[in-house]
Amino acid sequence: MGMAMITNVALILCAVLLASGFGTNALTYDYSANIECLVNPESAQYMGGIIENPEMKDGLKGWFPFGSAKIEHREESNGNVFIVAHSRNHSYDTFSQTLHLHSNIIYTFSAWVQVNEGKADVAAVIKTRRGYEHVAVTVAQSNCWSFFKGGLTVTEPGPVELYFESNNTKVEIWVDSVSLQPFTQEQWRAHQDQAIEKYRKRRVKIQTLNKEGNPLPNATISLGQWRPGFPVGCAINRNILNNSPYQNWFLSRFTTTTFENEMKWYSNEQTPGRVDYSVSDAMIYFAKQHNIAVRGHNVIWDDPEFLQGWVKSLSNTALYRAARRRLNSVMSKYRGQVIAWDVENENLHFNFFESKLGWPASGLFYNWAMKADQSIPLFLNEFNTIESSGDAASSPARYLQKLDTIRKFPGNRGGRFAIGLESHFGPSPNIAYMRSAIDTLGSAGVPIWLTEVDVSNSANQAYNLEQVLREGFSHPKVNGIVIWSAWAPWGCYRMCLTDNNFRNLPTGDVVDKLLKEWGIKGSITATTDSNGFFEASLFHGEYEMKISHPSVAKSSIDAQKFSVLPASEGESEQQSPLLIQVEF
């Protein structure tokens, strides 16, 4: 190949990368997600990104049959055009597009999908030389278009095939407005930093004045956050009681917790009728002593593996009464002492109570919970909703369907419902899918917490933990995080932060680094300018401020406390600085 040809190829490649979002003026991330099933699909995000013919306006151009399906281009009466896969014999019989993906690039996916009858799970899949990777999954319906999002990070460059699949081979799969948008790792991190600045911080101006009300320059201001506006907590268990090293390690970092097992039904009522809250009471007392907020976990666990034998042996009538006694007992016991309840745990993967009491059981439990305590959010706690793009049982669409069913149960309108995402990640977290799944869940308009965050042990465990925590903290729809790392002499559930002498492991170092970076631990010291002002962008939370000046006796200066709250609706966090004036 001649030099001129090489130059031309390089120029073309450069142009493609710039157009695809790799340039310095790359597209910002689109956090939007539509959970309504619409008559008409919306336009493709990012104008389709690297997808050829994303809105099917050029017939089947770029799209080819996959498997033994037959495909065709159709037009609805309103003029909308799309592609269809029919005559399907296998789950993968649909259509595909061949793409060339780059290593260490994050790709975010979205599309609109419909089936010709009923409902069916439909997934988007990437076929590589090494295998298959699910990118996204949703529940498609007939007579309207459903939007779904996902993504992946490519570790090996080369050609791939993007295709769609459904285990229901009786349905036709209709697809429109497909997008696959690439972002570099640096751009993805920039999205996080921009979101943190926009949603987690506020400009604050502090002015020091003398007794005459005149500006006091060169005053020294020291700020420390004593309670964060965004909770980042860690689970604890009974081992923290009477264990000073464990207590010191925990209390120097966290102001929020969840009890690992001590509030669960099998811990409180091992024998029918003999309810024992002694351990959870002691842990609640410890939390109160140290101003630690506690999430209640959990009221009902649907996995039969974690139900007492006596519960599983009950008749349906007796089970109904036992479940109601359990809920009223634990929720009335700790009313006013917890900030939230995981009312049902893992109800998308398991359905013990619904199998015995009928499908309305979940809605009924939340109805009881509302009557027991309407003052705090009631969570549906689930795993794999953001961790696994291939688990259709707990996909964002399935989660929102279940939440909608609970909210529509008679008497549940107006309840304070919330989304609990366990966040037990494997050795290679799919951060692109995590973000897109939270985008979708965020459209429900209820609080979202990452409730049990850990990552599998691997050579990159600390790095992976940082990626997950950073993604959760920066997402505008997430309201809190609890790390699932309660310590025990024999180890932790899946991930420890310390050794048995409470010296940090690499995972613990990551947590400490982020707590400091996010203003939760650490302090700021600065000097006021000639007009007595100090200005900074501070994280939301409760602060203690100490001020000193050579002209003022130390005995006359008291520590000041103030709150940095999010700007009111319609205000910009950065354009509406909080003004604090201190006179002394």
CA 112 vs CA 60, 160, 507, 560: distances in Å = 16, 21, 39, 53
Q: What is the pLDDT of residues 24-57, one digit of tens each?
A: 345 799 999 999 999 999 999 999 999 999 999 9
The first and second tokens of residue 15, run together, are 């142009």
Residues 452, 377 within the same domain: yes
Structure tokens that stand for 119 in this block: 């409902």
- Quote helix, strand, coil % in the chain, to nearest 5: 30, 30, 40
Q: Which of 452, 466, 471, 573 is catalytic?
A: 452
**Assigned domain for 467 exists:** yes
pLDDT at 177 over 50: yes
195 within some domain: no
- Residue 570 sits in a domain of what CATH number? 2.60.40
Q: Is the peptide bond before 239 cis (omega within 30 degrees of 0)?
A: no
Question: In whole numbers, what is the pLDDT of the chain averaged over residues?
Answer: 93
Mean pLDDT of 410-428: 97
Whether 23 is in a domain gets the answer no
Q: What is the CATH number of the domain that holds 66?
A: 2.60.120.260
What integer pLDDT is reported at residue 322 of this predicted model? 98
What pLDDT was estimated at residue 127?
96
Would residue 189 count as lying in a domain? no
- Both 214 and 353 in one domain: the answer is no
- Amino acid at site 111: A
Give Rg (Cα) of the chain: 27
Is the model's pLDDT at 14 over the cut of 90? no
- Are 218 and 237 in the same domain? no
Assess whether 344 carries a catalytic annotation.
no
Q: Is 243 exposed, middle or buried (0-12, 13-18, 19+ CB in 10 A)?
A: middle
Cβ proximity of 107 and 153 under 8 Å: yes
How do strand 417-421 and strand 448-455 relate by DSSP bridges?
parallel
Tokens of 37: 């099933």
Examine the domain organization and report whether 316 and 217 are in the same domain.
no
Boundary (domain end) residue, out of 483, 515, 547? 515
The DSSP secondary-structure symbol of 63 reads -
Shared domain for 400 and 534, answered yes or no, is no
Six token digits for residue 153: 């990070």
70 and 215 together in one domain: no
Q: Tens of pLDDT along 182-214?
A: 999 999 999 999 999 999 999 999 999 988 899
What pLDDT sits at residue 555? 53
Active-site annotation holds for 346: yes
Residue % of the chain over a pLDDT of 70: 94
Distance CA 288, CA 541 (A): 19
Domain assignment present for 12: no
What pLDDT does residue 559 have? 82
Same domain, 247 and 351: yes
Give the CA count within 13 Å in the CB-facing half-sphere of 528. 26
Q: Read off the pLDDT of residues 488-544 as tens digits, 9 standing for 90 and up.
A: 999 999 999 999 999 999 999 999 999 999 999 888 999 999 999 999 999 999 999
Residue 58 has what pLDDT? 98
Query: Mean pLDDT, to the nearest integer, of 209-229?
Result: 93
Rounded CA separation 559/278 (Å):
39
144: in domain: yes
Q: What percent of the chain has pLDDT over 90?
A: 88
The single-letter code of the amino acid at 551 is S
**What mean pLDDT is predicted for residues 9-25?**
40
Instruction: Identify the CATH number of the domain in which residue 294 sits.
Output: 3.20.20.80
Same domain flag for 489 and 548: no
- Read out DSSP for 531-561? TSEEEEEEESEEEEEEEE-TTS-GGG---EE
Cα gap 340→415, rounded to integer Å:
13
Q: Say yes or no: 498 and 529 in one domain.
A: no
Separation CA 581–CA 566 (nearest Å)? 19
Residue bearing the bigger pLDDT, 308 or 581: 308
164 and 298 in a single domain? The answer is no
Note the pLDDT tens digit of each residue in 530-568: 999 999 999 999 999 999 988 877 655 678 899 999 887
- From 482, 515, 548, the end of a domain falls on 515
Q: Which of 133, 165, 344, 346 is catalytic?
A: 346
Residue range of the domain that includes 120: 45-184
Report CA dihedral (57, 63, 65, 66) to the nearest 10 degrees.
Answer: -130
Rounded alpha-carbon distances, angstroms, from residue 359 to 304, 351, 353: 16, 9, 8
Is 471 inside any structural domain? Answer: yes
Q: Judge whether 428 lies within some domain.
A: yes
pLDDT score, position 12: 32
| Same domain for 218 and 109 | no
Element (H, E) at 401: helix 396-408
Total domains, the chain: 3
Q: Is the domain of 269 the same as that of 340?
A: yes
Q: How confident is the model at residue 582 (pLDDT cuts 50, 70, 90)?
A: confident
